[in-house]
Amino acid sequence: MALSKDNPEKVDRIQQTPFTKAERRLLDWLCERMPAWVTPDKLTLLAALAAIGIGLCFAFSGQHPWLLWLSIALFGVHWFGDSLDGSIARYRRMERPNYGFFIDHSSDMMAGFVILGGLGLSPYVRIEIALLALAGYFLLAIHTFLLAKVTGEFHLSHGGLGPTEIRMIFIALTLGIIFGGPDVPSWGGYSVYDIVVGGCAVLMLGIFAVVTLSVGRRLSQEDNARLAARMAARAEQDARQDAGQPRR
């Protein structure tokens, strides 16, 4: 018995950010020029290795601050692999929707774990703040997968923020750490870096809560209307059956 469906349900990819159109043009330009030996699997692997490298750079940046510069370069490598793997598969018409969806997004979850985990192990951001941001990221990811299941829309961005914008925030934070160093203002034991990462976590949790309530309300209205229609049809069918039965 096959593990996956021969014809998986089509899902519309939706991405609405300030950089979506420009990024799409750049990715199309790159797809046209990639040599044949650059395959989607290799790009996914490249993105995964870059994410692991970023996490290690953050984790050991206290002893070796120059690793923060390397992490910025690796964010570029991660964008290249993560953004291009699916794009090149679609460009070459060699999509594997079941395998590609599973491996790509499993890699994304691993990337979030190692990057934020490494940041939490650094001397710049407290581990509980990093884990709170990771929880927010995972909740948004779960929300995205649920939306794809019930609406047929796979939202690559929320609140105007997509993967590319999140990388930009990380790069800006890393530059702030490089030039600000460890001795920055703090309040109640929480540094500026903690507040920035914590603010991102609160933003993700807020987006999750608002969108969940909004979508849940719409789905409830739509399903209640469908339920009412089914019950009315069933009542009409029962009435017809009763009318056709002979009286005793």
CATH of the domain at 41: 1.20.120.1760
pLDDT at residue 150 is higher than 80: yes
What percent of the chain shows pLDDT beyond 90? 69
The pTM for the full model equals 0.88
- Residue 215: phi, psi to the nearest 5? -65, -40
Would you say residue 4 lies in a domain?
A: no
Helical ranges in the chain per DSSP H: 20-33, 40-59, 67-91, 97-121, 127-151, 163-180, 192-244
Q: How far apart (Å, rounded) are the C-alpha atoms in residues 156 and 61?
A: 31
Would you say residue 3 lies in a domain?
A: no
Would you say residue 101 lies in a domain?
A: yes
Task: State the residue range of the domain holding 200.
Answer: 12-238
Would you say residue 66 lies in a domain?
A: yes
Least confident interval from 36-40, 52-56, 92-96, 152-156: 152-156
Mean pLDDT of 45-69: 96
Query: What's the pLDDT score for residue 246?
Result: 61
Would you say residue 243 lies in a domain?
A: no
Mean pLDDT of 196-223: 93
Would you say residue 16 lies in a domain?
A: yes
Q: How far apart (Å, rounded) are the C-alpha atoms in residues 9 and 90?
A: 16
Would you say residue 64 lies in a domain?
A: yes
Q: How far apart (Å, rounded) are the C-alpha atoms in residues 103 and 90?
A: 16
Would you say residue 5 lies in a domain?
A: no
Q: How many domains does one find in the chain?
A: 1
